[in-house]
């Protein structure tokens, strides 16, 4: 049954990621759709994680659906790695550094922000 929750969440996340690739343009070769999906995915996983840390009564199945399934299907780290490699191979070193660092820093900040928004403070 756990696989079903992960699969359904993953399908929803993947479809949303695909939709974003259709509506968010790449500008000057910068992979904005993947960047936005990764940052939003980090925020979502932070919000969901904060919610589950704060509320012990929530179903473990809901966590599988939202965190493992939806966020796993929505975020695009493998695509992120491939796009970084393409930037390196095309000699766009500045764009590579900007994309990699901004994704990492803003992703971690968005995740922490999501936990904070849910009112979980350690």
Question: pLDDT tens, 21-79?
Answer: 999 998 988 999 999 999 999 999 999 999 999 998 999 999 999 999 999 999 988 88
Q: What digits encode the pLDDT tens for the residues 96-121? A: 999 999 999 999 999 999 999 998 87
For residues 114 and 65, give the distance between their C-alpha atoms in angstroms, rounded to a whole number.
18
Single pTM value for the model:
0.81
- Burial class of residue 44 (count of CB atoms within 10 Å of its CB; 0-12, 13-18, 19+): buried
Q: Is 72 annotated as a binding residue?
A: yes
């Amino acid at each position: 049954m756990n696989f079903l929750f992960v699969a359904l969440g993953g399908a929803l996340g993947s479809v949303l990621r695909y939709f974003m690739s259709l509506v968010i343009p790449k500008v000057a070769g910068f992979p904005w759709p993947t960047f936005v999906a990764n940052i939003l995915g980090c925020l979502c996983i932070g919000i969901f994680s904060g919610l589950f840390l704060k509320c012990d009564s929530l179903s473990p199945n809901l966590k599988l659906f939202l965190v493992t399934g939806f966020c796993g299907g929505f975020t695009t780290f493998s695509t992120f790695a491939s796009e970084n490699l393409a930037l390196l191979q095309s000699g766009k070193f500045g764009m590579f550094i900007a994309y990699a660092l901004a994704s990492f820093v803003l992703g971690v900040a968005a995740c922490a922000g999501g936990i904070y928004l849910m009112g979980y403070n350690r």
